[in-house]
A and B are shown apart, each in its own frame.
Chain A
Amino acid sequence: MKLGIVKETRPLERRVAASPQVVAKWKKAGFDVAIERGAGEAASYPDAQYEAAGAVVVDRAEAWQADLVLKLRPPTVDGATCEADAMRDGATLVSYIFPAQDQALVDALAKKKLNVLAMDCVPRISRAQKMDALSSMANISGYRAVIEAANKFGSFFTGQFTAAGKVPPAKVLIIGAGVAGLAALGAAKGLGAIVRAFDVRAAAEEQVKSLGGEFLTITLKESGEGQGGYAKEMSKEFLDAEYALFRAQAKECDIVITTALIPGRPAPKLWLQDMVELMKPGSVVVDMAAEQGGNCEVTKPGETIVHHGVHVIGFTDLASRMAHVASDMYGTNLWHLLEEMGGAAHHKVDEANDAVRPALILSAGDKKWPPPKPPEPSPSAKPAVVAVAAPPAPAKPAAKPAPKKSHGHGPAAEPPSKASAVILSVLGLLGAIAFVYFRFGNGATDHPIEASSAKLFQHVAVFVMAVFIGFQVVWNVAPALHTPLMSVTNAISGIIVVGGLLAGADKLELPVWVAVAATLFATINIAGGFLVTRRMLAMFRK
């Protein structure tokens, strides 16, 4: 099986799909590797190194003719022609595709009957982390964002006390604590700055703190509960609160790094023009979302501008600026993907493999995207390391009251129970009607303990109320307390002792003896239940 590594053609792109180290691993695993002449030049990997690793350096056309073409950026489409037209029919292409944004590209590839795997569609499940190129690139970009900021920033990151005076440490604000944000946090912290990170997801707090950052967030507990248009109302309030927080930070912070992206949509505007103007002259904003329009209102994608004395960096090629390491990491992601697909010997696209299936865009020209929803998203499907550029724009999701997750631990009960539930409810209802009918209709008045209809009604009402209270009270019990709770309810159900006592208050004949026995058993239960509960509870301590 022959792998072809082609040169990236997009402007500003210095990376290449694999480093010589990765090529050596492929050779060892049994792949043949052909690389386009000069493909690694911009990433400081000369052709000689690839040759030393076992690759054959070939012309562009030949590299594109391989069984498996490896690339980083999506092939370019120009009118009716596509870069990938150089491929053989039925060959396989692995690169970024972004199928949601670029339908024309997918159509062009389909014409060639290609198999296409998109590195940007690798699922975010733990098992697929090793293949997650978006995360590895985001990591690099986050680091580079800090370096670019330091380049423009006219002071130290770390605080200094020198004979020539005191320099306070730089204050860095990172908006969005995803992979890129966390990488930036780590880099800035390493340079000695005071770092704060903002994220709308509470889960990010722990990750931010673990890297030594200070976590900023908004809590909107008191906000307009129970009104119509809940989500919308809340989202506006939320944004206002968020902007207020940012304005306060703008006056203090020297460096702001924004990383907020929503897949397939323009980046949310979070750092408004007036915030830039609030910042001290000489401060730096690095907008990592510049390619998608930018989080900052004044960002010019691809450029660095100065607005009111503040540098606003809008580079769209941050990862490419570290092409050397980026190429190696991307190549390693590719290596893991090919291993996952069976290596050199058993290479095939296994549609049952849930780590590979979502990345499959075309199979011999047949459209396979979007992938079918996994049958039951297990908790594991949630990414441990969260999305590239983190927070889903605070505007909407943050405000949603998460209606479904009422209390359950797992997915909801399965549907087949519904039929039986309906049957049982109907039976129960019939039973209840029959009960009431007979109790009312027949001799309710000659009930020995003078039960009138009114009294029965009262009993039923009391019964229903108590059932309801029981539901309410137990709903939120902590699982750790299930056993004590059960044991205390058990003790309380010993209340049947009242029945025993009432029935047993009479002449000492057979019925009374039976009632006395009932009293005995009920009391065993009461004493046993309460004492066991006490013993158990005595053991719980912090």
Chain B
Amino acid sequence: MQDTVQTLISNVAFLVAGVLFIMALRGLSSQETARRGNVYGIIGMLIAIAATLSMTGDRTQPVAFAAIGGGAVIGAVMAARVGMTSMPELVALLHSFVGLAAVLVGLSMQLAHKENALAHRIDVYIDVMIGAITTTGSILAFLKLRGSVSGKPMLLPARHLLNLSMLTGIVVLGALYGMDGETWALLAAAGIACVLGVHLVAAIGGADMPVVVSMLNSYSGWTAAAAGFMLDNDLLIITGALVGSSGAILSYIMCKAMNRSIFAVIFGGFGAAPPKADKSKPAPPAGDVQEMTADDLAEKLSTSKTVIIVPGYGMAVARAQHAVREMSQVLRDKGVDVKFAIHPVAGRLPGHMNVLLAEANVPYDIVLEMDEVNPDMPSTDVVIVIGANDIVNPAAEDDPTSPIAGMPVIQVWKAGLVIVNKRSRGAGYAGIDNPLFYKPVTKMLFGDAKDAIEKVVAALKAL
């Protein structure tokens, strides 16, 4: 009797937690409700943990409490310390923790119940495989985002064959494990899954990194759902499925934004050396770029009516968002209509630029999306591109052989004057030359984004 009541209570608690998670995701879909959404998520999680602890009762080991306390502190410190510019890395790293936890849970089940039936083994196996792929994939994504590993995609000659044979290996070992329930088969398969995770992410690079992070997010959800089947726990299933499907949708939305097939992204290869057509052509946009000084720019800006600022990863790297905000503020005080234009995949995370601008107190109602600003471009006096490259590359529209052909871009070249701030003359993250720099409407402002913009601000104030 006692047990039944206990089960009922924890089931109700799980249900409440599940609903709170749904409300959390729902809340996060608009600016007004986002903060409330996060609170719902926290409450849901606390309820879930409390309900689980009440289920396990006095069988819970004290060391588990220590793990919860320690984990909470470590997580809090990591979150509090991280700079807004290295947010993508942290998110990727956290994904790997979820994957790792799932692997460990599966392993623990295997070690504790070796004599399990086939049905149970299937659950364990799926949980561990997805978990392993998520773990190593996320770690590599973390290293790539941090810059410890080159962002260029690594393309082995027969990579699809390699993937296929690894997949076959996993299936074969799975069959072996299913028949005998041997731990070694599980571990060997997990090893292969780890390699597969690395290989999958290694093949993806360049502008596709945001999609990768979002895909890994989705994987971490599926692995939690698999754990739910294994442990016969509906809350895990619900939450895992929620996270898995929302992550998948998010990836899909981003792929659409880049006009790329999601399968092409998953199987990798983007951002590789451009097709040979590029070389046979006599390096088309070769020409001279025109430079402009900060003083000239300030003067030009102060006489403009409309200015659009297009930030990219370069702004994040130089931590220039505060200088940029100040520039926009000074201009707005002078009566200039300043807007920000954000490309859906600017930066290394979806929405990365919005987060940075928000950090610098830029009001979000002047931060617009690509589709909102493109029609206004011809009537815009000055566009300032700060550390962005591929997302303003006209080759995406003009040059069908370009690796980014067909990707919607911000059409800055239609404005009256385009100022491009760049550290150097190098190509963008995707390694593609940008004809924008050679257009007659374009002037370059070379230098670190922060220094350059601060100079402009000083010049503006001196005017």
Contact = CB atoms under 8 A, between A and B. Distances in A.
Interface of A: 126, 129, 203, 376, 378-380, 382, 384, 407-414, 416-417, 420-421, 424, 435, 438-439, 442-444, 446-449, 451, 455, 458-459, 462-471, 473-506, 508, 510-512, 514-542
Contacts of B258: 410
Given A469-B22, A506-B112, A528 B78 contact: yes
Given A467-B245, A482-B250, A495-B235, A524 B78 contact: yes
Contact of A493 (B26, B229, B239, B361): B239
A409 B359 contact: no
Nearest to A478: B30
Which interface residue of A435, A439, A458, A503 has the most chain B CB atoms within 10 A?
A: A503
B414 A380 contact: yes
Contacts of A497: 48-49, 52, 68, 101
Contacts of B350: 479, 482-483, 486
B344 A479 contact: yes
Contacts of B100: 518, 521
Given A499-B231, A501-B49, A527-B72, A537 B34 contact: yes
Contact of A532 (B87, B236, B352, B379): B87
Given A511-B112, A536-B87, A466 B56 contact: no
Contact of A410 (B44, B214, B256): B256
Interface string B101-117: 11111011101110011
B358 A496 contact: no
Contacts of B234: 458-459, 462
Label chain A's interface by main secondary structure.
Answer: helix
Interface residues of B, number: 142
B37 interface: yes
Given A481-B351, A497-B49, A522 B101 contact: yes
Contact of B367 (A471, A480, A486, A519): A480
B397 interface: yes
Contacts of A376: 406
Interface in B334-368: 342, 344, 349-352, 354-355, 358-359, 361, 363-365, 367
Given A409-B408, A530-B42, A538-B35, A524 B74 contact: yes
Given A466-B242, A494-B97, A532-B79, 17 more contacts: A420-B263, A435-B122, A467-B244, A477-B253, A479-B350, A484-B38, A484-B351, A488-B24, A490-B95, A490-B98, A501-B52, A502-B52, A504-B60, A518-B100, A519-B71, A523-B71, A534-B38
23 contacts: A447-B119, A459-B228, A464-B241, A466-B237, A466-B241, A467-B241, A470-B244, A476-B29, A479-B350, A480-B367, A481-B351, A483-B355, A486-B250, A487-B94, A488-B38, A497-B49, A498-B48, A498-B236, A502-B231, A503-B112, A520-B68, A524-B72, A529-B79
A495 B236 contact: yes
B45 A491 contact: yes
Interface stretch (B218-226, B383-391, B437-445): B218-226
B28 interface: yes
Interface in B50-94: 52-53, 55-57, 59-61, 63-64, 67-68, 70-76, 78-80, 82, 84, 87, 90-91, 94
Contact of B354 (A129, A480, A541): A480
A484 B79 contact: no
A527 B48 contact: no
Nearest to A508: B61
Given A508-B61, A525-B94, A538-B35, A451 B104 contact: no
A488 B28 CA distance: 8
B354 to A, nearest CB: 4
A518 B63 CA distance: 12
A521 B97 contact: yes
A260 B221 CA distance: 54
Contacts of B378: 126, 129, 384
B103 to A, nearest CB: 8
Which interface residue of B104, B225, B230, B411 has the most chain A CB atoms within 10 A?
A: B104
A487 B91 contact: yes
Nearest to B411: A380
Contact of A470 (B34, B91, B241): B241
Nearest to B82: A532
A520 B351 contact: no
